[in-house]
Structure 1
Amino acid sequence: MALSLPRPHRVDVQISVASVLAGLAWWALGLTMQTDRPLGSTWALIPLLVLAGLELLRRSRPRTALIIATLALIADQFTAGNLATVMMFTDIMYAAVVYGTPASARRIPVTTGLITVAVTIGFLAWLREPEAILIGVLTGLVSFAPATTGVLVRTHREAAVAARLRAEQTALLAEMDRVQAITAERARMARELHDMVANHLSAIAIHSTAALSLDDPKTTRDALAVIRENSVEGLSEMRRLIGILRDSSDDREPTVAPTLHGLGSLIDNAGTNGLDVTLDDTRGPDDSKLPAPVELAAYRIIQESLTNALKHASPGPVTVTLTQRRRALEVRVTSPYGSPSGPRAPGSGAGLVGMRERTELLGGAFESGPESSSSPDGEKVWSVHATLPVAPSDLDPIDEGVTE
């Protein structure tokens, strides 16, 4: 199999051609670096051409190029020498550190440093003249200096690459955070829109169906009154939500979120829509202070449970129970479970998903489904049970005995 070499870089080709032309010019002018060598100046062309060829491999085969270049430089010491040969060797030494493996980049500077020290000490011991130090300096300029320069350049390049990677990772993480924030906000708005509007639209759908199916003027008037009331309230809720979406300035007054103090109005509205709702609030006066997210989640869970009862429950009592535990608020809504006798509104299942999401966002537990035991009169009961944790740090500092 023939050995295929990679195509040399354009800059490497330019370096090789320029070095050969400079070396031939010095050779034609009779400029040599050494005298009294066994081989004449013509023999110096061989290392020159070898180094010029190795320049083409300085990026693709830096280690091989350095080994052969070292042997060629040693051979050049037996000729009259050429300055271009030495200059190309320093460039190949530099390239071996910059483009070589990380191990080579670590070993070459150490090796050339030791060689420089050894040559200096060896020639001092042999010649016993101060001028021998110049030989060590020349050795360092040819080998150690380009190697250390390559280390500096490689370090700066690696730092630049690492900085670019960190910037790309930071941008990627920022984009992921942005997408997650948008997704979370869309989910939150979807829950709010469903919980605010579904109750009113369900009542409108059921009472309009009753008005169309029963030929009774009084029933029709009552249904239209309920439809109008729910339409007005639904429009008010929609305007509030649209106002939140459109106005994002900081100087606007914050929109008041529904709290458990509004349960009475919610229960009354459910009664107007035809539900027999009973509120069993076992909390004491000291249990009324809850974090706003807990109150909003509890209100929306009760609202959606009443909406589901309106759409799917059988005739019978609906019970809403609030119980304050030491570290959590328990919300339970029970309703008759069976086939409704009157018209029903279609459901999509988004309400249960929204209630579960609200509970999980607070770190609580949510359960819904038919209870294992039936009611005393033999009817099945559908139960929605949510446990909403209340962190002590979220409560009023006075309750915890902390003063500011």
Structure 2
Amino acid sequence: MKRQLINLFLGVAVVWAVSSCDIRDNKDVNPADSFLRIYDSHQFDHAIGPVDVAQTSENGYLLLGNYRRDDTDFLGTYIASTDENGHFIRNTYMRDNNVHPVGEFLMLGGQHYFVSMDAVSLQAYLNHVDDSARVVSTIGIGVTYPMFAKNDGDDQFVLLSYNSVDRTTEVSVVNVDGTILQQSAFGIGAGQEVEEPIIDHFTRTGRELPFFAGRMENGTYYANGFYNYTLSLLFTDLSDNSPRGVVQGQQDQGGISALLPLNGDNFALSRFNYGDQFASSMATLNTSGTTSANDINSHPMLEWVVDGKVKITSLELNSSVYTLIATTAKSQQIVLHFYDNTGAYVGVDYLGFSSPYQLGAIRVTADNGLAILGSTQVAGKFQRMCLFKKSEAELSAIVQ
């Protein structure tokens, strides 16, 4: 009886939260343009964390998340689909050895994929998922402990992973068949204490670390992983196992937390150092030498939570290109900082009310709006995923 009452209360809370921010009272506004949705779960005790969001071919959304399982040390894989208004359609809780989903959603040959891991062999998986959140196929990739994946063109992707046997951070270019086309491996250093934060990241017994990778316009690959005892931003052409450039952090207590290549050696980025948070909308990095993250000219972000996810993207509004840096504020709202193409600060927006909200991922939508995936605590105790949609008009009003 107690369980039924709690479930009923949770359902009412979710309905209220969703309906309270609905904009349908304005008949001139398309409900797909702007909304907030909070997604309940039939699994009462599951805390569902956000990983990534992507738009489907019919302008609905795919949501990738994780949840704690009691039969493995790793987080389970959760996928959900919605319509264009953000209304829930269906979800999939993967119950087999498919665990630890990582961002980003990949678009390969016009189809959606994501990378995860086998709970026993630790091998990386490439999963093809349809618009209804059903996994169509799963193939193995010849690496272990996947950390991050990002598109590298239309038919291949960059994969960041960890090899616990060789104790190396690996950067691989992989095609849709799971074949590794290029790969470089960078030693993390000797000693158990160096590997410990990496394993704690995978089991979530420690902090979730900001692993990421990608490719610059000039063809240089970058990766944020452990190298030579320290969380470091590496630049490489994947021709050998020596990075071309290194931006060193402070063991696992400092380094780069998010990065967006702009032009040449200019980047928008965020960094952290022993709990302090910093951001720069335009920083020039030495991509062919060794430098320290602490020497990057950046601004203290005093309102940011410690260890919160930071996401950076660019978008065009009113014929001008803007940089967006998003994270979670200490007020437990999702905060969006906007900068123009000179790096000047032009606007801010806060998402969330009543309950605490945390950022998971952001994605520019087909209508030039923004999809923001996050999590919230319903009734103060039930972690559920949420999806904000901001329209192009709303975003334009922020930067004007």
Alignment TM-score, normalising by the size of structure 1: 0.24
Question: Which structure's relative contact order is higher, taking Cα pairs within 8 Å and 6+ residues apart?
Answer: 2
Larger radius of gyration: 1
Greater strand content: 2
